[in-house]
Structure 1
Amino acid sequence: MKSNRVVVTGRGTINAIAENVDDFTAALKNGTCGIGPVTLFDTGGYRTHIGAQVNGFDARQHIPANYSLKRMSRSDCMAMAATLEAMADAGLLPMADRMAARTGVIIGGGAGGMLECEPVFARYLGNGADRMPVSPFAAFSCASSADHIATHLNLLGPRTTFMTACSSGATAIGFARDLIRSHAADIVVCGGTEPLCRITYSAFNALQAVDPDPCKPFDRNRRGLTLGEGAGIVILESLDHARKRGAVIYGEILGCGITCDAHHMTAPDSEGTGAAAAMTAALADARISADRVDYINAHGTATPANDRMEALAIGRVFGKRTRQIPASSTKSMIGHTLGAAGAIEAVACLLAMERDFVPPTIHHDTPDDDCPLDVVPGHSRPARIDTVLSNSFAFGGNNTALVLGRFTENGGAR
């Protein structure tokens, strides 16, 4: 059976610099910084006090009253809001029953509803109770976002949740693409969601992996990442199905590469072997050479070890072109959204192709000889982009690279 071409017909996002796709486009072009004081919980006991928080997020501004918010966490609500935007963008609201039967939901995540569970646990410890209340923890699992989306929209196709740390969102998109290519679904709602919460914030502080100031990816003086939150959702669809219903096509998922370093729980392989292998696999899956890539959306966390490793891995794959290809980190604007990062960045890549610009790396002042990349410092840049490589490299060495292309009838970058 011939494999399907997989196209993007809808996009949605909630993040620290925008609560919809149009505002996200403008913010990326303007190099807007979404990093500021964290107010969701008390940061008084930590070495850092900032994050890329979605300030003033009101679920009811995005989710209609006929959708119940019962037992939905902040993470679930952000995922639902981004999903409804993406579904509307794709012209799929309301969805016909015959389509819903073959529409899947694949979501990446991490903390799930921990922000809501943490106070429950604190009260349990403070009261000296003999038994932990179960209901909040059962309702706010990481998998609940996919469950709420499927239930509210009556989507009956394949459903699953990925937790591969910082590559979860990208892994979800890659898996969703495979479902459509193998004819297991016609449409898939996919992406990632992640909230700021105490357990994540304290863990990264304990690792001393966060910068007290806004992160500076690839800068010689970088001191760590800035945690963020948000959701990114894309609607993937087989090309034949999209054509039959006259959908607008925003791009194509050309390739996906997944590898594991098998090296360390938190530290990357300093040689970048697994990261380079993921990029190489994604390009091979897309059936294109490295010469065809116009822009790299770097993982770019701003930790000393990770940025150095990624630059080395990019050099292994792109050789003499390494300094010529724009390779920016949008995490400098929206922070590191962990399980949602690869999905929000996929939305950013699609917008960059559609609107002909390269997003910048802000806060980058001093180049680092260990990171010999064109990081597009400070300001966005006009450019024609036909093919993007988007990197997501996670704890445990869980690496995922996606290749996205501008859609053309003859197969685009292929």
Structure 2
Amino acid sequence: MNKRVVITGIGVLTPVGSGKEKFWSAISEGRIGTSRIEGFDTSMFEVHNGGEVRDVDPSSYMRLLDPLAAPRTTQLAVAAAKMAIEDAAFHSEEYLTERSGVCIGTTIGNGSIIEQDHDRRQKQGTKLPPDYIRNFPISYISAAVATELGFEGPNLTVPTACAAGNYAISWGADLIKDGMADIVLVGGSDALSRFCYTTFHRLGAIAPDRCQPFDKNRKGMMVSEGAAVLVLEEQEKASKRGARIYAEFLGYGLSCDAHHPTAPHPDGLGAILATERALSDANVKAEDVSYVSAHGTGTKANDSTESKALRKIFGELIDSIPVSSLKSMLGHTMGAASAIEAAACALSIYNSIIPPTINYEVPDEECVQNIVPNEPMFSRVEVAVSSSFAFGGNISIIVLGRIDK
């Protein structure tokens, strides 16, 4: 039997707002969450803006594990997971714990430990305590989520950089379709990192003040932080327990063109392959797609090559399919980005609203033209394609669809 996988819970922490309701209200209204960074000193850099989660203390969500020994990326993941479980109105006795899984994607992982240890050695001449250091491995992220929620099934942390969220979502869906799990918490998490900020600064990729995806005058991306976790369940079981269903996970496509450590393939070959695979896996035709949530970082290279890929896949149809990028509001939340964008796609399908691309002023002839500019679009969304690209050519595309309520 072909099992159908659905999204029944959403938990998010972002620079525009944390919690499903605040997040959805903010991106629907086009609020910008990036501003001058407060988490670390940016005086050594030429740019100073980024995105930070400021409205919620994620450590407050940890009950079983010591929050003081948990790095911020792990805290964000635990907070998002607990928000998602609450939103799904899920009770632990409804599924066997050994059939309840967790898969979280990340880019930097718990790298803040290295930064904090460096600072402490430099300023105090002492090391961080061992109890903190031992939580450095990325596996601790998903393990902490599972521990806090009592999930004893399959557990994995996916480190495929900025495409990691979609990889995690896809793996979780496979677990359910293959009969290995009944419920899986999937998503991505990354805390703001001085190391990450330095990397993108050295690449000359950070915009001085704002992110303008697909705009002719775009100047780069914004480094940010956040987390999103989705609750995936098998559709029949979710309906039986009376769960609210936001959207159905229809399929995914992966590729790795390995063109360059940081630059996308100039012709978008990896993006084309992954998107074609996703549409095929979802059994969806190009003309069935009603919204594309673009990777849309705001860099010259990404937006033009992503546009080439979209034109190759959709042809003239891309001129009529709405396209938008959440990164214009949130900045780039690294491994959390595609998970947050998946949450937005599910909410777009559920609410029939497409979030805008903020700061879009001058169309670029090298980019797709049907950008949703500055104001939300009220439109029924039957099928949404969500794209995520990463360093090293890692690309993951997912397809979500409307399900009869």
TM-score (norm 2): 0.96
Superposed CA deviations along residues 136-174 of structure 1, whole A, max 9, x for unmatched, are 332133222211111111111100010111100011001
- Give me the CA root mean square deviation: 1.8
Q: 1:109 aligns with which of 100, 106, 110?
A: 106
Match of 2:141 in 1: 145
Q: 1:158 aligns with which of 151, 154, 157?
A: 154
Matched, 1:33 2:29: no
Say which SS state the counterpart of residue 169 (structure 1) adopts.
Answer: helix
Matched, 1:254 2:250: yes
Match of 1:352 in 2: 348
Say which SS state the counterpart of residue 114 (structure 2) adopts.
Answer: helix
Q: Percent identity over the alignment?
A: 40
Query: Which structure 2 residues correspond to residues 269-308 of structure 1 after superposition, within 5 A?
Result: 269-308=265-304
Say which SS state the counterpart of residue 139 (structure 1) adopts.
Answer: coil
Q: 1:86 aligns with which of 84, 87, 103?
A: 84
Kindly indicate whether the alpha-carbon contact (under 8 Å) linking 2:95 and 2:183 is maintained by their aligned counterparts in 1: no
Matched, 1:388 2:387: no
TM-score (norm 1): 0.94
Match of 1:207 in 2: 203
Match of 1:75 in 2: 73
Say which SS state the counterpart of residue 18 (structure 2) adopts.
Answer: coil
Match of 2:191 in 1: 195
Listed as ranges, the gaps of 5+ residues in structure 2 are none
Match of 2:5 in 1: 6
Aligned partners of 1:266, 1:314: CA distance in 2, in Å? 20
Letter in 1 for 2:108: A
Letter in 1 for 2:100: T
Aligned partners of 1:353, 1:244: CA distance in 2, in Å? 22
Kindly indicate whether the alpha-carbon contact (under 8 Å) linking 1:35 and 1:335 is maintained by their aligned counterparts in 2: yes
- How far the C-alpha of 1:59 sits from its partner, in A, is 2.7
Kindly indicate whether the alpha-carbon contact (under 8 Å) linking 2:63 and 2:148 is maintained by their aligned counterparts in 1: no
Say which SS state the counterpart of residue 373 (structure 2) adopts.
Answer: coil
Match of 1:24 in 2: 23
Residues 247 and 320 of structure 1: CA distance in aligned 2, closer, same or farther (over 3 Å): same
Residues 199 and 250 of structure 1: CA distance in aligned 2, closer, same or farther (over 3 Å): same
Letter in 1 for 2:376: S
- How far the C-alpha of 1:373 sits from its partner, in A, is 2.5
Kindly indicate whether the alpha-carbon contact (under 8 Å) linking 1:326 and 1:373 is maintained by their aligned counterparts in 2: no
Match of 1:233 in 2: 229
Kindly indicate whether the alpha-carbon contact (under 8 Å) linking 1:253 and 1:403 is maintained by their aligned counterparts in 2: yes
Aligned partners of 2:40, 2:7: CA distance in 1, in Å? 36
Aligned partners of 1:64, 1:161: CA distance in 2, in Å? 19
Aligned partners of 1:224, 1:123: CA distance in 2, in Å? 33
Superposed CA deviations along residues 199-232 of structure 1, whole A, max 9, x for unmatched, are 0011110111111111110011111100111101
Letter in 2 for 1:316: K
- How far the C-alpha of 1:133 sits from its partner, in A, is 6.4
Match of 1:405 in 2: 401
Match of 2:359 in 1: 363
Letter in 2 for 1:168: A
Say which SS state the counterpart of residue 96 (structure 2) adopts.
Answer: helix
Of 242-251 and 297-306, more deviation after overlay is shown by: 242-251
Aligned partners of 2:98, 2:131: CA distance in 1, in Å? 30
Letter in 1 for 2:151: L
Letter in 2 for 1:77: Q
Residues 65 and 274 of structure 1: CA distance in aligned 2, closer, same or farther (over 3 Å): closer
Kindly indicate whether the alpha-carbon contact (under 8 Å) linking 2:65 and 2:144 is maintained by their aligned counterparts in 1: no
Say which SS state the counterpart of residue 148 (structure 2) adopts.
Answer: helix
Say which SS state the counterpart of residue 319 (structure 2) adopts.
Answer: coil
- How far the C-alpha of 1:4 sits from its partner, in A, is 1.1
Residues 220 and 242 of structure 1: CA distance in aligned 2, closer, same or farther (over 3 Å): same
Kindly indicate whether the alpha-carbon contact (under 8 Å) linking 2:247 and 2:402 is maintained by their aligned counterparts in 1: yes
Q: What is the count of residue pairs matched by the alignment?
A: 405
Aligned partners of 1:153, 1:109: CA distance in 2, in Å? 20
Aligned partners of 2:5, 2:208: CA distance in 1, in Å? 41
Aligned partners of 1:97, 1:376: CA distance in 2, in Å? 41
- How far the C-alpha of 1:240 sits from its partner, in A, is 2.3
Say which SS state the counterpart of residue 134 (structure 2) adopts.
Answer: helix
Match of 1:43 in 2: 42
Superposed CA deviations along residues 274-305 of structure 1, whole A, max 9, x for unmatched, are 10111110000000101000000000001100
Kindly indicate whether the alpha-carbon contact (under 8 Å) linking 1:167 and 1:392 is maintained by their aligned counterparts in 2: yes
Kindly indicate whether the alpha-carbon contact (under 8 Å) linking 2:11 and 2:81 is maintained by their aligned counterparts in 1: yes
Say which SS state the counterpart of residue 322 (structure 1) adopts.
Answer: helix
- How far the C-alpha of 1:128 sits from its partner, in A, is 6.7
Match of 1:412 in 2: none
Say which SS state the counterpart of residue 203 (structure 1) adopts.
Answer: helix
Aligned partners of 1:298, 1:253: CA distance in 2, in Å? 17
Matched, 1:324 2:323: no
Residues 353 and 399 of structure 1: CA distance in aligned 2, closer, same or farther (over 3 Å): same
Aligned partners of 2:142, 2:205: CA distance in 1, in Å? 30
Kindly indicate whether the alpha-carbon contact (under 8 Å) linking 1:109 and 1:169 is maintained by their aligned counterparts in 2: yes
Aligned partners of 1:322, 1:56: CA distance in 2, in Å? 37
Letter in 2 for 1:80: V
Superposed CA deviations along residues 12-40 of structure 1, whole A, max 9, x for unmatched, are 10000111101111111110000101000
Aligned partners of 1:97, 1:382: CA distance in 2, in Å? 36
Kindly indicate whether the alpha-carbon contact (under 8 Å) linking 2:253 and 2:276 is maintained by their aligned counterparts in 1: yes
